[in-house]
Every structure is written in structure tokens, then in C-alpha cells.
A and B are shown apart, each in its own frame.
Chain A
Amino acid sequence: MRTLHCFTFRWYDICSYNLGLIIGVLSFIMTITEDVVKFLETVPPFQFLEAVELKAVSDDLTMEFYPKDTVILQQDGLASDALRIIKKGGVKVSMRTENGEEVTIDHRGEGETFGLISLMGRDKQKTTVIAMEDSICYLLSREKILKLIETKPVVSEYFLQSHFTKYVDKVYREMHNKSLFYGSSDHLLFTTPVGDIATKAVVAVRDDATIKEAALQMSRHRISSVIIVDARQLPVGVVTDRDLREKVVSRARSVDDPVRDIMSLPLVRVDAKDYCFEAVLTMIKHNIHHILVIQDGNLKGVLTNHDLMMLQGTSPLSFAKDLESQESVDGLAPVSVKINRVVGLLLKEGARASNITRIIAELNDRLVRKVLEIAEKQFGRPPVAYCWLSFGSEGRKEQTFKTDQDNAIVYADPATPEQEEAAKQYFAAFALFVRDGLVKCGFPLCPADYMASNPKWRQPLSVWKKLFSTWIGHPTPEAILRSLIFFDFRHLHGDEALAVDLRSHLMKNLKGQNLFLALMAGATARNRPPLGFFKTFLVEKDGEHKNELNLKLRGIGPLVDIVRLLSLESGVAETSTLERIEAMRGKNASIDSMGDELVQAFEFISLLRIHHQVEQIEQGQAPDNFINPSRLSNLEKSTLKESFQVISTLQDGIIDHYGPGMVGSG
């Protein structure tokens, strides 16, 4: 006992200088939130808070654990009572549409948040959130997060940027029936002052007027709200359609009652100089659809939900209009530059990869069509009807940033040798003009010369048909390579009947061509996804892209090839990968069993690639397809692995189907 005591003493002596001191200090602030503070220091927007505030936020947090597959929030269930910050693990956010379709909106991982929107709206929960792995979340209560948003501009700005645009976008979508261009100009919310779009002519009614008078004013002016003013003409309240429904009609109140009895209070205002997003925030917070706009202390107008939607609706169209109004290639070029910017914008707003590429395809299509129209004006009426085809990623509507031109012309078979000669001359000059025009608009030349400017790829319909038949009948390696590219052709401009004719010729010729399909299967199964035996990523061993993997060559490419092969087998005429998958449902066993996984894999790899490219462009680099998997979050890694696994499984199925020998020789 004595020796022990002695030891204790010595030990204590040695350590009292440092350890004892430290522990002594720590004991004053003994909490379990130090790790939380450290974590929040890496999480936007909390990282922007001062240390004291961060500590206060940490003390307000609670912490929950969700085993894998736990439904954390349920669509149409109770609104979320807290903002959840993912400490560990990951979740999937999905939504059931009106026709019962389950749409995955987002995957969120460590350091990301969810639940804000239902928190703000106090509505029913709009999405379902499920834990994809065992997850730990910190919860910040509704009251606390609202207070932070109100008092800390960095917090409100962050959440507005990352969430509210999506909210408004959704409202807009409901109203505008899924217009193709929704959302591409949500940034206007952050750049347009309220005063610019508020309804200017304010209809006001005195507070002692009757409900009937107010309603008459509203219907006379076809407006959904009327401002109530006092004797000094100062606004004291607002009456909206909703008030008439909820406080008059549904309660059988007399319409001769004074309007002040049903007006909404308090009157919520924004300044005309405020940006629209502040109005949106205020409207959401107060759960209202109308807000007064005040300028220099006076009533300037009313801003409604509808005005905000219009703001979002008009600009993308005006972008398209901008394209339409150009008369020359030189005028088009500067407009075309903007298309690249749209990608970044859409990404920031959380758009899905397929939506981004659809919007980009639509804009690029308009651009190309405009160049063709300008060419038609320049060269006059073509001697025979023609159709402009696009191939490759453009043909599949899967372009993001402008890729090489892949195009061709098919024209109606000339009736006479004179007409044939005239067509040859006309389309030669025409194609050259278009090629150069497209280069000016940012579409680089195709290094393999798959362009209409190459005489090989501008032919009468009968020649094209023969060409396709030859490729299918004599499938040389070169023929297979060309089939992979050309069979994704799509009509873009001109006489669509020519493209339809060519497509049906192709489908007819493919029937029973097992040798051709087997060789195509061989080409399809050759590029395996970069997954090792133990489900590790196989990365480049050396060179410029050491430790990286090529998403296009090893991911998107093989997937697109699989879907093309299956759709050619099943006689499906669509050319875009997602449309092909949809069209094959019920016709193809592989798609019936793995279609959903395939769609998700395609969306995910595409999105990863777009994110990567946008990042490169923002840093002034040329976009490529190489990513370093070690830089991905755990959730991203596992999703990417699952995506590769889907591709691999389908490739195995193809090898099985056509026989290993057959495919191996391809």
C-alpha cells in the first residue's frame, strides 16, 4: 500500500505540469458538444457562425440514430419538426407523384441537411426521406433554425440558395404543367428587385366598405387580392380570394359586413428594393400568397405568388426567344455561349442529370435549327426534300457541354440525273456553311469526320438504306463501330418522313440478324465497369490520370451500349437511353427486371460527370471524364459501385445470351 501510494504521488508530480492543468481547465466547460462544434465548423452554413454562436447552436441540438432503411420522414405525414444535419451515413429523398410514381429527388450525405422546407411551410411533409445506411443526425428545432435564419444573414442566404429555389420551382412546376424550361432562371430570384415585378396598379378599398364591394372590385379588375386602406389611404390589411372562401362563403357570413372584419392581419410588407427571394422567404414564413410592396414609405404595389412564377417563367423563354430573333450566325454565337452557363445554374438548383441534358438538348436543337434556317435563306430552296440528322450523344439528347458535331443529311431520292447533280451541289455548299456556322457557335469539328460536310454522310435515302443493310449484312469491325454511332440517329430539322422511313428500314433489316447483334453484343460487353473482385474501384495505374477512372469510357459508354443493343433487339425506335428504357418496358426481360436500377445508375453517373465538368469549367480547365473516386463521399462511392454493378450484371447477361465464344470474338 505504501509503495502504491508512493507511485501515485510520483505519477501525479510528473503530470501535474501538463495533464493536471489541462484537465483542470477542461472541467470548467465539461460538455459533450465539443465534437459537435468541430463537426459544425465544417458544415455550411454553420461554419460561417462565430465560435460562441456555434457553441450555442450545438447546445440546442439533439441527436438521433436511424438504422438502415428507417423512414425518417414520410410524405404526407407530419411536417418535420427539425432541420436534420447528417453526421454519419446518408439518406435518399424521394417523392411520390400524382400518378403514383416514386421519383428519387436527391441523395444526401454527411454534412448535408434535410427537412427544411416542410419545417418552413408547416405543411404536410412533401417528401419521403429514408436512411440508406445506418445514420446519425443532429436535429435543430424549428424555433431555433427560424431564429437563426432571421438573425443571421449567412444562414438565410445559404438556405435560400440551396432550398427555396427548389420550393418555388416546385410551385412553378405545378402551375406550368411541367414546361420544359422551368427552373432555368431561378437565379432571377436573387437578382430581381421586388419593385420590378410587383403589380403596379394597386386596387384599394376603404376599410369600412362592405365585403360585397371588395369582392366586386376584385372581380372587376380580375385580381385575387385587394388592399384595404384607412381614411388616410394608408394600407391596414389585405383581403384575398382565400379570405372570401374561408371567412365568408364557408361560414355563411353576410356580404354586407364591413370588409375590415375579414381582412388578413398583420400586413406583411417588403421593400421595393429587396430582392425577390426575400419576398419568397417572407411569404413562406407567414404562409401567405400576397405581400405588399412599399417604396419610400408608400404603397407601391402587391406581389403575388403568381408574379414570382411569371418571373421564373418568362426568362428562359426569353432566352429561347433571343435565339429565335437572330438573323445571322454571328448574332447566334454570343447567345450560344450562355447555354454552358445554364448547366451550372441547373446543377446548383439540384436538377437531375436527365432534366439538365433534356434542357440542354432542347436549347442546342434550337441553336442548330436556327443555323440551318439561316443556311436555307442563304442558299434558297433545296432541289429535293432533306432531313438533318444528329447522332451520338446529340442524337440521344445526352449532351451537356458542347461535344463534337455528329450529323448527316438524308435527302429524297432525286427523280432525274439533273436533279441528282443539283442536289449534290446544293447540299455540298449547304453542309459546309452549316459546319462552319456550328463551329462558330461552339460545336467543335468531329475528328472522325462524321459530319454532313463529308460527302459520304450526305446521301439520298436509298443510298443510306443500302449502307445500313450492308453494315448489318457484312458486320466488319468498322461496320459495327459505325453502327454504334449512326444507329442513334435522330431527326432534327427538315422532312421528318425521311428519318422515319430510314428508321423503319433499319428495324426491318435488324430482325433475325443474329450475327450482327452478337458482334454488337461483343463490342458492348468488352468495356467492363472499373470494379475489382472485392468491389474496389479499379483506377488508372499511372499516367496523367493516375488513381482516377473514366466515367464516360467505363460507365456511361457501356451503359448506353447495353441499352442500344437491347433496344435494337426489341425493335424500339427511340434513341435516347432513358426513352429507350421506358419504351422497352414489357418488351424486354432484362429491362423489366433491372430497368429501374439502370435508370438510376445512368442518372447517377451522368450527374457525377456533369458535376465534375462544371467544377473544372469553374476552375478554368477543359472538362474531361476523369474522376478520383477517393474524393467522393461514402454515399457517392457506394452508389457508384452499385451503378457499376448494375452495368456489370447486364453485361454478364448479354454474354450468357449470345454465348461467351461469340461475344469473345467480337
Chain B
Amino acid sequence: MEDERSFPDLATPIDQCRYAVIDTELTGLDFKKDSIVSIGAVAMTGGRIRLGETFYEMVSPRTAFRAETVVVHGIMPSDVTDKPAAGAVIDELLKFCAGTVVVGHFLSLDLHFLNKELKAVSGRPFPNFVADTWRIHSWIQNQTDAACRDFGESGDRDLFALAKKYRVPIAQAHDALGDAFITAQLFQRFLAILPGLGVRTIKELLKIGKP
């Protein structure tokens, strides 16, 4: 259990820290009724995305599939009948994330469902430092664009709209790993911008990226 808690030093420069960029696909967005269908994660060291170091698991959800989300994530009940329950793969995910800052888009959503699974297994919530790319994006907008500040949170919220805005190529299938990869590339662009705005250490990143 020790490795899960090996946090990066808060003074680590953001271009040297290790990150795990994650995304989950869900049966739906209802906090009570829905659960995880698949988990994807991509490893990064500073701005380098480690293309061969990825995590992807489909799980057998604890709740029923729903038609409208099946269309989105493309995973069908038959695909997961032989898959483990989320609780069984969550240990692997924690290992993958060990020592990293975990990054995701609207991460609080993913965290809610991950924590639900985690608590069922170990009684403890997700241990890592976390940062949300949507929060980071909003913060950057506020620093750089006066119009945005005046009109509050407007503009593009969803991952694909942001990816387009930052010219991140969207070529992969829409699954948890593909989305994690897009999120990683988005984060990669933020990492290039942030030092110029005074964000240089993990401590500063966590502050602006708090989900």
C-alpha cells in the first residue's frame, strides 16, 4: 500500500513530475444509479506522453446499461459479461497511478465513481494528488482573456470542443483510453503555457487545477 501513497514532492517542477491522465466511461451521469463501464489512463513525464504506457480495462458495471450512453461509449452488455467487476481492476489502476498526479477532464465526476468502487473495496478514497484540465483551462482563460472573465464561464466546456480549440487531433475511437489520450494532449498544451503564467510547481498546479 505504501507505493500508492508515494506522493510527488509539492516543489517538483511541473515539467518533471509524473502524471497519470485518466478517463472513465459510465453507464450514465446519475451519481446514485450509474457506475463505471471502462477505465483508460495514459502515463506522462512532464510534457512527454509515454505512448506505450497505457491502462485500459472494461468492467462489468454494477448497474444496468442505458441505451443513450451505449451509443456514446459503444460498449455493449455482451462485451463485458466476462469482464471483472470494477473493484477487481481498481488495484491495477492504483498501481498505474502510483507516484503520479492524476489528471482528468471534469475529474470530479470520474473520482466520484472511482471512489464509490474504492470505498467498497478498501474503505478509502482515491489517494493521489489530482488536477482537472477543465479547471486549468478556465484559470488560463481568466488569466489571458478579459472577455471571459467578464462574462463568467462561457464557451467550450466539453473535451472535444476544447481539443478542437487547442488543435489536438481527434482521431481515436471514443473510448476511455482514446479520451484519456486526448485529455493528455490537452494537458500537454497547458504544461507549455503554464510556466509563462507563473505556474511552475506541483503545488501551484494543484491550486489552479483543484477539481
Distance of A33 Cα from B171 Cα, bound (Å): 11
Q: Does B211 contact A (CB under 8 A)?
A: no
Q: Which of A8, A26, A33 has the most CB of B within 10 A?
A: A8
B64 CB to nearest chain A CB (Å):
8
**Max chain A CB contacts within 10 Å: which of B42, B49, B54?**
B49
How long is the Cα–Cα vector from A88 to B188 in the complex, in angstroms?
15
Chain A residues whose CB sits within 8 angstroms of the CB of B149 once the complex forms:
none
Given known pairs A19-B74, A35-B172, A67-B192, the reply for A139 and B48 (CB within 8 Å) is yes
User: Are A7 and B67 in contact, with the CB atoms below 8 A?
Assistant: yes
Of all chain B residues, the one with the shortest Cβ separation from A138 is B51
Q: In the assembly, what is the distance between CA of A35 and CA of B78, in Å?
A: 27
User: Are the C-beta atoms of B51 and A61 separated by less than 8 Å?
Assistant: yes
Interface flags for B45-71 (1: CB within 8 Å of A; 0: not) read: 101111110101010000001110011
Contact residues of B between 174 and 211, Cβ < 8 Å to A: 175, 177-178, 181, 185, 188-189, 192-193
A12, B76: Cβ atoms under 8 Å?
A: yes
Known: A4-B66, A32-B177, A66-B192. A61 touches B79 (CB 8 A): no
Q: Is B77 an interface residue (CB 8 A)?
A: yes
Per-residue B-contact encoding for A1-31, CB less than 8 Å = 1, 0 else: 0001101100110011001100110110011
The docked-state distance in angstroms from the alpha carbon of A58 to that of B169 is 18
Q: Which of A11, A24, A32, A60 has a CB less than 8 Å from the CB of B54?
A: A32
Q: Is the CB of A32 within 8 A of B47?
A: no
Q: Is the CB of B67 within 8 A of A59?
A: no
**B90 proximal to A (CB < 8 A):** no
Interfacial chain B residues near A26, Cβ < 8 Å = 173
Residues of chain A within 8 A of B193, CB atoms compared: 67
- Measured between C-beta atoms, what is the minimum distance from A30 to chain B in Å? 4
Please tell me if the beta carbons of B66 and A36 are within 8 angstroms of each other in the complex: no
Nearest chain B residue, comparing its CB with the CB of A32: B181
Does A134 make an interface contact (CB < 8 A)? yes
A30–B51 CB distance below 8 A? no
The answer to whether B54 and A31 touch across the interface, beta carbons within 8 angstroms, is yes
* A65 in contact (CB, < 8 A): yes
Q: Which of B40, B49, B58 contacts A63 (CB 8 A)?
A: B49
Residue in contact with A31 in the complex, picked from B75, B177, B185, CB distance below 8 Å: B177
Assembly CA distance A23 to B76 (angstroms): 9
Is A70 in contact with chain B by the CB < 8 A criterion? yes
What separation, in Å, do the CA atoms of A67 and B190 have in the docked complex?
A: 10
In whole angstroms, what is the CA distance A70 to B195 when docked? 13
Query: Taking the complex as formed, is B167 at the interface, i.e. its CB lies under 8 A from any CB of chain A?
Result: yes
Across the interface, which residues of A come within 8 angstroms of B77, CB to CB? 12
**When chains A and B are docked, how far (Å) is the Cα of A471 from the Cα of B47?**
65
Give the complex CA separation of A63 and B40 in angstroms: 18
Contacts of B42 in A (CB 8 A): 32
Query: Are B54 and A62 touching (Cβ within 8 A)?
Result: no
Query: Closest chain B residue to A12 by CB distance?
Result: B76
Question: Which residue of the partner chain B has the closest CB to A11?
Answer: B67
A-side contacts of B54, CB under 8 Å: 30-32
- Tell me whether A64 is interfacial, beta carbon within 8 Å: yes
Asked whether, in the complex, the Cβ of B192 is within 8 Å of the Cβ of A62, the reply is: no
Whether A134 contacts B167 by the Cβ 8 Å rule is: yes
Residue numbers in A under 8 Å from B45 (CB-CB): 62
User: What separation, in Å, do the CA atoms of A65 and B42 have in the docked complex?
Assistant: 16
Q: A23 contacts B189, CB within 8 Å?
A: no
Which residues in B have their C-beta under 8 angstroms from that of A65? 47, 185, 188-189, 192
Residue of A with least CB distance to B67 = A8
CB-based nearest A residue for B171: A35
Q: What residues of chain B lie closer than 8 Å to A4, measured between beta carbons?
A: 66-67
* Distance between Cα atoms of A12 and B76 in the complex (Å): 7
Would B51 and A59 count as touching, CB distance under 8 A?
Answer: yes
Name the interface residues of B150-182: CB closer than 8 Å to any CB of A. 167, 169, 171-173, 175, 177-178, 181
Beta-carbon contact of A8 and B79 below 8 Å: no
Give the interface of B toward A (CB within 8 A). Answer: 40, 42, 45, 47-52, 54, 56, 58, 65-67, 70-71, 74-79, 167, 169, 171-173, 175, 177-178, 181, 185, 188-189, 192-193
Q: Name A residues whose Cβ lies closer than 8 Å to a Cβ of B.
A: 4-5, 7-8, 11-12, 15-16, 19-20, 23-24, 26-27, 30-33, 35-36, 58-67, 70, 88, 134, 138-139
Can you show 11 pairs from A to B with CB atoms below 8 A apart? A7-B67, A8-B66, A8-B70, A23-B74, A30-B40, A30-B54, A32-B42, A33-B51, A59-B52, A61-B51, A64-B49
Q: A58-B52, A59-B52 are in contact. List 18 more A-B contacts (CB 8 A).
A: A5-B67, A12-B77, A30-B175, A31-B52, A32-B172, A32-B177, A32-B178, A32-B181, A35-B171, A61-B51, A61-B52, A62-B48, A64-B47, A64-B49, A64-B188, A67-B193, A88-B169, A139-B48
Closest 6 CB pairs of A and B: A59-B52, A62-B48, A8-B67, A63-B49, A30-B56, A32-B181
